[in-house]
Structure 1
Amino acid sequence: MRSIAFIAGLAALAAASPTPQILPSDQLAELPSPPITDVSSGAGSEIIPLDTNSLASDAVADIIADPTPDLEANIPSAINSTTSLEKRTSGTCASQPAGYGPVISPDTPNAFVSSTQLSGPALSAPTWVNGFSQTFQNKYASVSGCSYQGYKTYKTYDVYQAATDCKNIAGCKGFNIFYERDPTQDPGYGCDNPASTTVIKASFWGNLIGPNLATNKGQYRDNFQVVIAGSNGYNIDACETAITGWTQQQLGTCTINSPATTCAGGSDSYLTYTSFSDGNMDNSRCKAQCDALTKQNPSKPCNFFTSYMQVHNNMCGIQFCSFYQRAWDQSYCTNSGDPVNHNTIAWSSSFTNNACDGTENCPFVRTAL
Structure 2
Amino acid sequence: MRAVAALAACVAFANAQTFDMDMILAAEPVPTPSIPVVYITGDAPSTTASATTVSYVETQAAASVSLEVAAAASSTALAKRAVSTCVPQPTGISHNSSPDTASAFLADAYYSSVASAALTPAGYVNTFTNLQASNNAYGYMGYQLLSSYDTQLCSQECDKVNGCLSFNIYFERDPSVDPNDSSCSNPASVTQIKCVMWGGPTLKSNALNAGQWRNKFQVVIAGSNGYVNKTIDPAPGYDQPIDLGDATINAPLDCSGHDTFMQSKFFTSGPFDANLCAAACSAQNVYNLAHPPAEGKPKTCQFFTTYLLYKDGVAQRQTCSLYTMAWNSTYNTNKGYYYGQSHYTVGYSFAFSNTTNPGAPYAACGSSSSSTVVSSTAKASSTAVSASSTTLSTATATPTALLPDTSCNNAGLQFAYYPGLASTQWDFNSPNYGLDAENYKTVTPNYTGVTNFIGGFAWNTYHQSSSIYSSTRPFDHEKMILNHRGYFFAPTSGDYTFSIPTCDDAAFFWLGDMAYSGFNEFNYLLLDNQANGTQSATVTLTAGKYYPIRLIYGNVGGGPGSLYFQITQGNKVAADWSSTVSPYFVQKSCDGTTAPAYAAFGQET
Q: Summarize the alignment of residues 1-369 of structure 1 with structure 2, pairs less than 5 Å apart.
A: 18-23=13-18, 30=25, 32=27, 33-42=29-38, 44-62=50-68, 91-125=84-118, 130-135=123-128, 137-139=130-132, 141-187=133-179, 188=181, 193-209=186-202, 210-221=204-215, 223-237=216-230, 240-253=232-245, 254-261=247-254, 268-278=259-269, 280-298=271-289, 299-338=298-337, 342-359=343-360, 365=370, 366=394, 367-368=396-397, 369=543
> How far does residue 308 in structure 1 lie from its aligned partner after superposition?
1.5
1:240-279 deviation digits (Å, cap 9, x = unpaired): 223332213323223222221267xx85433222222347
CA contact (8 A) 2:166 2:200 kept: yes
CA contact (8 A) 1:337 1:343 kept: yes
> How far does residue 296 in structure 1 lie from its aligned partner after superposition?
0.8
> How far does residue 324 in structure 1 lie from its aligned partner after superposition?
1.9
In the other structure, the counterpart of 1:69 is: none
> How far does residue 89 in structure 1 lie from its aligned partner after superposition?
6.8
Distance 1:250 1:128, change over 3 A: farther
CA contact (8 A) 2:112 2:130 kept: no
> How far does residue 136 in structure 1 lie from its aligned partner after superposition?
5.8
Q: What letter matches 1:293 in structure 2?
A: Q
1:147-187 deviation digits (Å, cap 9, x = unpaired): 21110111211223323322332222332211122333444
Distance 2:51 2:275 in 1: 28
Farther-moved stretch of structure 1 (126-135 vs 195-204): 126-135
Q: What letter matches 1:334 in structure 2?
A: T
CA contact (8 A) 1:208 1:317 kept: no
Distance 2:353 2:104 in 1: 55
> How far does residue 220 in structure 1 lie from its aligned partner after superposition?
1.9
> How far does residue 127 in structure 1 lie from its aligned partner after superposition?
7.3
Higher helix share: 1
> How far does residue 294 in structure 1 lie from its aligned partner after superposition?
0.9
The alignment yields a C-alpha RMSD, in angstroms, of 3.8
Distance 1:90 1:225 in 2: 23
CA contact (8 A) 2:165 2:201 kept: yes
CA contact (8 A) 1:101 1:155 kept: no
Larger gyration radius, structure 1 or structure 2: 2
> How far does residue 30 in structure 1 lie from its aligned partner after superposition?
4.0
> Helix, strand or coil for the counterpart of 1:252?
strand
Q: What letter matches 2:163 in structure 1?
A: G
> How far does residue 206 in structure 1 lie from its aligned partner after superposition?
1.7
CA contact (8 A) 1:326 1:362 kept: no
Distance 1:356 1:145, change over 3 A: closer
Q: What letter matches 1:41 in structure 2?
A: V
Distance 1:353 1:144 in 2: 33
Q: What letter matches 1:281 in structure 2?
A: F
CA contact (8 A) 2:56 2:163 kept: yes
Distance 1:202 1:148, change over 3 A: same
1:97-148 deviation digits (Å, cap 9, x = unpaired): 2212513233333322221122322344457863233246321x43344421
Distance 1:142 1:333, change over 3 A: closer
> Helix, strand or coil for the counterpart of 1:227?
strand
Distance 2:270 2:311 in 1: 13
Farther-moved stretch of structure 1 (50-59 vs 90-99): 90-99
CA contact (8 A) 1:176 1:204 kept: yes
Q: What letter matches 1:352 in structure 2?
A: S
> How far does residue 319 in structure 1 lie from its aligned partner after superposition?
1.5
> Helix, strand or coil for the counterpart of 1:248?
coil
Distance 2:165 2:26 in 1: 22
CA contact (8 A) 1:243 1:284 kept: yes
> How far does residue 46 in structure 1 lie from its aligned partner after superposition?
0.7
Distance 1:268 1:109 in 2: 57
> How far does residue 217 in structure 1 lie from its aligned partner after superposition?
1.0
Distance 2:26 2:107 in 1: 40
Q: What letter matches 2:360 in structure 1?
A: T
Distance 1:193 1:321 in 2: 47
Distance 1:186 1:51, change over 3 A: same
1:14-38 deviation digits (Å, cap 9, x = unpaired): xxx8423531596697465423223
> Helix, strand or coil for the counterpart of 1:316?
strand
